[in-house]
Structure 1
Amino acid sequence: METTIKKPLTGLTLEQLRNVAAECGMPSFAAKQMSQWLYEKRVTSIDKMTNLSKSARQRLSTDYCIGVTPPKAAAESSDGTVKYLFDGKGGRDIEAVYIPDKDRATLCVSSQAGCRMGCKFCMTGRQGFHGNLTACDIINQIIAIPQSRSLTNVVFMGMGEPMDNLPAVLQAIEVLTSPWGLAWSPKRITVSTIGKINEMKTLLDTTKVHLAVSLHSPYPEQRASLMPVERAYHSRDVIALLRQYDFAHQRRLSFEYI
């Protein structure tokens, strides 16, 4: 007997939830109700969305699920840092890392299972690429950990290159920052990139999150020996693009070195 795989609601935008509502014969305003249950109240089952009619919940449950899954494992270090392991893609698990620091609590999230950028110093790069994470996979890392509600910051600096999975990353950022979602300020979010030019421009034009550029050497030949992507996305072109944006006020730009 064939088992139907249900689609997760977590990670969907308000517009996408409106489409789900229409598909299930619910009024448009049910999308806002679902978003509150998902992102504010964080229910674990559709049955708990009690301001939806029983028939609507039954119809919704036919094809959809909440989609939040707890980490498979956790490893805590002596300084309070916790590494969480989640199901990934293509048989490769992914990690999210909780980092407490005085009055800050940062979560480092993954955007891909593995990575195809091939940076020489990166263990993830050595694993190869196994698949893009969905917006649900990304948001799940944030809301499925015990410290979720005490987080002050999220950094897209885990496994994968965020600009290589930009649609899912942008959707996750929309869920994170929208009033109907987690309602975070974009100042609490930093996205790291090796500098894929077009995708980086899209991120800068459509969001207000902070940007961290993985540089590691200002010398093109030396950078290319560490990061093969230098041959496709020259650091001089990355810098030229960044000079077109104002980082003097709310938005922060940083460069990463190992």
Structure 2
Amino acid sequence: MKTALLGKTLDELNDAVKELGMPAFSARQIAQWLYGKKVSSIDEMTNLSLRNRELLKEHYEVGAALPVHAMRSADGTVKYLFRTPEGNFVESVYIPDGERATLCVSSQVGCKMNCKFCMTGKQGYAGSLTVTQILNQIYSIPERDSLTNVVFMGMGEPFDNLDAVLRALEILTSDYGYAWSPKRITVSTVGLRRGLERFLAESDCHLAVSLHSPFPSQRAELMPAERAFPITEIVNVLRNYDFSKQRRLSFEYILFGGVNDSLVYAKELVKLLRGLDCRINLIRFHAIPGVDLQGADMETMTAFRDYLTKHGIFATIRASRGEDIFAACGMLSTAEQQAEKERNLVKQ
């Protein structure tokens, strides 16, 4: 089986060409073909000699794979489904919004965090994506050259697959790779402490922390990770970091009707986050099967936002997108996995 070039850092490409006896400068040439010109085959790398291309092809391939399915929303949102070599499915979502075009990418197949409101968590955990599989979500969609932003907010917990995520971020932001500003990338987490501390030390990309309740007991019901990684401890870690420069800190807060949407919660959020240079993104809940949670109405969300803003915390209401195409994360992949099982049963 050949090894994928997509997802290799410059250091790894240097090692590869050295092992094959190719000139050292070939590594940067290959990186340019991959991340600058986004070729689909080694044959397209025409500034490598024919001999070296043939040599490279004996051991390597580009490693890109097209999505197996795409669902298009009336609002322009596109949800892509990718199949892993193991036969699992992961999603990415393209979200156009005026001059902004964001891609939401996944970092794992399923998730260990089992948040009550998340369909991905209901799948359980099947494995972490490789750097190749993470970058392929960007590399292999038709809109790749129009992207302005990438958010790691899809399936999985990025800090539970941090080695691969950090290598993907390196390629996206390095001069030999995509050469994007770290300001174009946001990584979301439930708050795995060691991963958080390492991310803050090794990356300059934006950070988003899933919060969803300022009360620990209720947050633990919604997000079991609270028991191992209390939000108060996460906030204390963040207080010791200077967010006044380039990196942006935000908190994600889904408003559930009658659960965490009263001004009591807004007041507690102000207490919890007082003094932090941050923003709060208020999110409408997309219902998922088997979960007795409902979204808050717009009037409630507006009052919640206005209270936070009045008390010194910049808050926005995130527009809902793609509600007609399995909007909630994990819905499409879950449906496809179920369909695959049914097809296999019919074959038997």
TM-score where L is the length of structure 1: 0.97
* 1:129-164 residue CA offsets vs partner (Å, 9 max, x unmatched): 011101111111011100100000000000000000
* 1:58-82 residue CA offsets vs partner (Å, 9 max, x unmatched): 1111111001111111001010000
Shift of 1:249: 2.6
The answer for the alignment partner of 1:150 in structure 2 is 146
2:227 to 227, 231, 234: 231
The answer for the alignment partner of 2:338 in structure 1 is none
* 1:94-136 residue CA offsets vs partner (Å, 9 max, x unmatched): 0000000111000000000100111111000000001110111
1:111 to 85, 107, 112: 107
Shift of 1:23: 1.4
Question: How far apart, CA to CA, are the structure 1 residues paired with 2:5 and 2:11?
Answer: 12
The answer for the alignment partner of 2:22 in structure 1 is 26
Question: How far apart, CA to CA, are the structure 1 residues paired with 2:159 and 2:85?
Answer: 18
Q: Does 2:182 align with 1:186?
A: yes
Q: Does 2:212 align with 1:200?
A: no
One-letter amino acid matched to 1:96: S
The answer for the alignment partner of 1:85 in structure 2 is 81
| Partner SS for 1:70 | coil
| Partner SS for 1:223 | helix
Query: Structure 1 227/90 Cα, relative in aligned 2: closer, same or farther at 3 Å?
Result: farther
Q: Does 2:144 align with 1:128?
A: no
* 1:149-200 residue CA offsets vs partner (Å, 9 max, x unmatched): 0000000000000000000000000000000000000000000000000111
Shift of 1:89: 6.1
Question: How far apart, CA to CA, are the structure 1 residues paired with 2:57 and 2:158?
Answer: 32
Contact 1:89 1:131 in 2 (8 A): no
1:51 to 47, 52, 55: 47
CA RMSD of aligned residues (A): 0.9
2:247 to 238, 245, 251: 251
Shift of 1:92: 2.1
Aligned length: 254
Contact 1:25 1:56 in 2 (8 A): no
The answer for the alignment partner of 2:342 in structure 1 is none
The answer for the alignment partner of 1:76 in structure 2 is 72
One-letter amino acid matched to 1:181: G
| Partner SS for 1:257 | strand
Query: Structure 1 89/256 Cα, relative in aligned 2: closer, same or farther at 3 Å?
Result: farther
The answer for the alignment partner of 1:35 in structure 2 is 31
TM-score where L is the length of structure 2: 0.72
The answer for the alignment partner of 1:65 in structure 2 is 61
Runs of 4+ in structure 1 deviating by more than 4 angstroms, as ranges, are: none
Where does the alignment leave 5 or more consecutive residues of structure 2 unmatched?
A: 255-348
Q: Does 2:9 align with 1:13?
A: yes
Which protein is bigger by CA-based radius of gyration? 2
Where does the alignment leave 5 or more consecutive residues of structure 1 unmatched?
A: none
The answer for the alignment partner of 1:98 in structure 2 is 94
Shift of 1:27: 1.5
Question: How far apart, CA to CA, are the structure 1 residues paired with 2:202 and 2:45?
Answer: 32
| Partner SS for 1:239 | helix
| Partner SS for 1:74 | strand
